Amino acid sequence: MATRSFLRELNKNIRSPTYYRELVQALDEREAAAQSERAIRLHPRLIAESVRHEREKKGWKQDALASLAKVSLSTLQRIERAESVTVGSLRRVETALRLSEGTYSEPRIPKTKERLTEILDKADKIERDSEKVKVSRAKNQRQILSLVRCRIISLDIELPDEGAKKDLSKLRDEIELASLVYNAAEAGILRAIGHADPKRKPMYRDILDSIRAVETKHKLIVRCGVYKARICIQGSNSLEVAVLNVRSRTHDPASMRAGYVFLPKALDGKSLWMDFKKRMNSEISKLRQSNAHV
């Protein structure tokens, strides 16, 4: 249960009976404000627990969050010890954690217990319906081969830059085209229609070069992985799905490390297949147009 995991995380940081009493008092004050719809500032104890929880969930160390928030390490440590800091420092930390404006820095009407229960139940359902997938930085052709063997490419991105999203969409199209060639060659379709199997290693090198170009241009880290998802498509109950996990080097200090992402255990096969066919038809049309001008 999400509530149990939260309490376990909470218990790690309880240092003394005084700390516990202050935390309970802060929760009681918060609930009273929620029931009366009165805006209050979060108690420093709750801010400390929330900042620590959000930071550790992202895999960030204290110095990484401090650097990203442009506050001193000692300031962040004071926040996590529930000591007094300026509103400006709290605002910079909530921004670095990508939380709603005013989460820590402004008085707000707290959510009631009933609403919090709904949120926790929803989070619990998402956790039950998600698969933990290992991803690592794309570095070699063997990793690219594992991607192109899959028929579906899933993009897991957290980027504010629309230009980066367009370039990543092109990268996915490039991988899916290589996947189409790979699966057609493996099934003997190309030979059956009189085409020789293309050399695949140059394609994989080109994909690696494209990944490096996107990473350099937009200051990203592209990590990849493969997992099996439940899906109903072309008579299959499950298919291997290739994952491109993309994070910003400037906004995610943990992006350089191999890690895990949580992705849906079940996918809508029909919509994925239709989307894939639409993109592939578009690529084929572009190739025909370019050949017509040659």
DSSP 1: -
Mean per-residue pLDDT of the chain: 78
Q: What is the Cα–Cα distance from 175 to 263, expressed in whole angstroms?
A: 20
Q: What is the Cα–Cα distance from 158 to 245, expressed in whole angstroms?
A: 9
Burial class (CB in 10 A: 0-12, 13-18, 19+), 188: exposed
Percentage above 90 pLDDT, the chain? 16
Least-confidence region, from 21-25, 197-201, 206-210, 245-249: 21-25
Domains of the chain: residue spans and CATH: 2-127 (1.10.260.40), 130-292 (no CATH)
Percentage above 70 pLDDT, the chain? 70
Sorting pLDDT into bands at 50, 70 and 90, what band is 179?
confident
What is the Rg, in whole angstroms, of the alpha carbon atoms belonging to the chain?
24
The pLDDT, as a whole number, for residue 199 is: 78
Over residues 107-145, the pLDDT tens digits come to 877 777 777 677 667 767 777 888 888 898 888 999 999
List % helix, strand, coil for the chain (3-state, nearest 5): 55, 15, 25
The closest alpha carbon to 158, from 258, 247, 218, 60, belongs to 247
More confident residue, 205 or 198: 205
More confident residue, 163 or 210: 210
∠ CA 263-50-9, nearest 5°, is 70
Mean pLDDT for the stretch of residues 258-273: 74
H/E element, 227: strand 220-233
Least-confidence region, from 77-86, 163-172, 242-251, 259-268: 259-268
Sorting pLDDT into bands at 50, 70 and 90, what band is 169?
confident
Over residues 96-108, the pLDDT tens digits come to 988 888 888 888 7
